[in-house]
Chain A
């Protein structure tokens, strides 16, 4: 698995219309369990792609690999045309070192199912941490940027609260502001509403809706909210067994699914809600 052939893959992606994110033959396995099986997936600049599928289908792994939280067993991931998981050495792609990872990673932001706010920092401090200590902004600049974003997610009045004082929906909105404060080109949303009480899901999905309208961000989202996925996505991918079973526009995928597994999954979800 380690030695999966990547020799045929380009050192970088060039030309018009280079996708923002590109998975090429990406494979991930834990021991014998193959989670992703030679995945090919392109996400265009500014595109909103939603990944749906049963649990264990590998959908969260896609985001986690893109954020470099998981190592990759085979293939290459490109971000903005440059390899993320690998780097060029003497005309060949070799495994990326920490410096390269840090450089490419700065283009990606992520929001987690359980928010993962730093509990000992206030909402504002959470947002300022990265801009000050990673991007090297002055505290003043970082604070202005953070306050602006907190206002965008409707959390300006809670900026001096610690996470323990905030509801789940409020914490998730702060987490979105925190990720945006790094000015990423790609935003990843990993089941951001799954840990929330039903009545606050709307406040988080509304923020994401707003981002689709206002920012030229590329977004990848894993969600169980089919209605939300249908409203907001440019494209929906249905994952099954570590592969993309079917993909298309929301109208195509939800309205007229071609594959049997997709139909089964969608009708099972419909019954549950």
Chain B
């Protein structure tokens, strides 16, 4: 019934592994953008300037409620309409970075809100400055509850990188597709892609859980 061909498997494996490098790179860059931009979006929602707060809040909702693949198309194709030509990589990184920034901003927001009100009050009663209160009192406590969410989205962004193939970023899925259309064999490339994803995402998820526990202990919160 099934004809899995090992010789073909060994032949295409190096190509897929090379593409895995691109997948990891895309996930890494996208995540770096999301981590920083997400914090900006979260803090922007805490400013007393209401119009900004509402605008950011609604944008985050919008980004979270619409498909990433559509956002990738949007960023890639709408630029040229207005004379801005973005490479697949640039467009892809903007789209995926922004998408996950919206998710991470919610994680940070949850983390910040999980710090009991009494901590703010104690900081105030000791007359700590605003920056000192944030950096020394609030953020260290907001971080551990955020770590689980941050970890999930690290794995999430990695698993969403195949969508970048739709605009021609040469990551894992794109390469598997190319192999499929060259050779008319889909079994091995698609199965290998699945296995590669599992082999990376499962241990990563486990490592993140360990890291989370370690951080809690380190901060004396365990």
Contacts and interface: CB of A to CB of B under 8 A. Distances in A.
Main SS at interface, chain B? helix
Interface in B101-134: 116, 118-119, 121-122, 124-129, 132
B208 interface: no
Contacts, number: 68
B118 A129 contact: no
B29 to A, nearest CB: 31
Contacts of A116: 116, 118-119, 121-122
Contacts of B80: none
Interface string B173-200: 0000000000000000000000000000
B140 interface: yes
Contact of A122 (B136, B141, B220): B220
Contact of A114 (B118, B129, B137): B118
Contact of A108 (B125, B129, B220, B222): B125
A204 interface: no
B84 interface: no
A182 interface: yes
A117 B220 contact: no
Contacts of A112: 118, 121-122, 125
Interface of A: 67-69, 102, 105-106, 108-110, 112, 114-122, 129-130, 133-134, 162, 164, 178-179, 182
A118 B124 contact: no
Contacts of B121: 67, 69, 110, 112, 116
A1 to B, nearest CB: 21
A174 to B, nearest CB: 12
A130 B126 contact: yes
Main SS at interface, chain A? loop
A117 B116 CA distance: 11
Nearest to A130: B126
A162 B219 CA distance: 9
A182 B220 CA distance: 24
A112 B124 CA distance: 12
Nearest to A69: B121
Contact of B126 (A122, A129, A164): A129
A110 B219 contact: no
Nearest to A105: B127
A133 B134 CA distance: 13
A179 B125 contact: yes
Nearest to A175: B122
Contacts of A68: 124
Contacts of B219: 120
A142 B180 CA distance: 69
A126 to B, nearest CB: 9
A72 B126 CA distance: 20
A134 B125 CA distance: 11
Contact of A129 (B136, B141, B222): B136
25 contacts: A67-B124, A67-B125, A68-B124, A69-B121, A102-B127, A106-B127, A112-B125, A114-B118, A116-B121, A118-B122, A118-B137, A118-B141, A119-B141, A120-B221, A121-B220, A129-B126, A130-B126, A133-B129, A133-B136, A134-B127, A162-B220, A164-B221, A164-B222, A179-B125, A182-B127
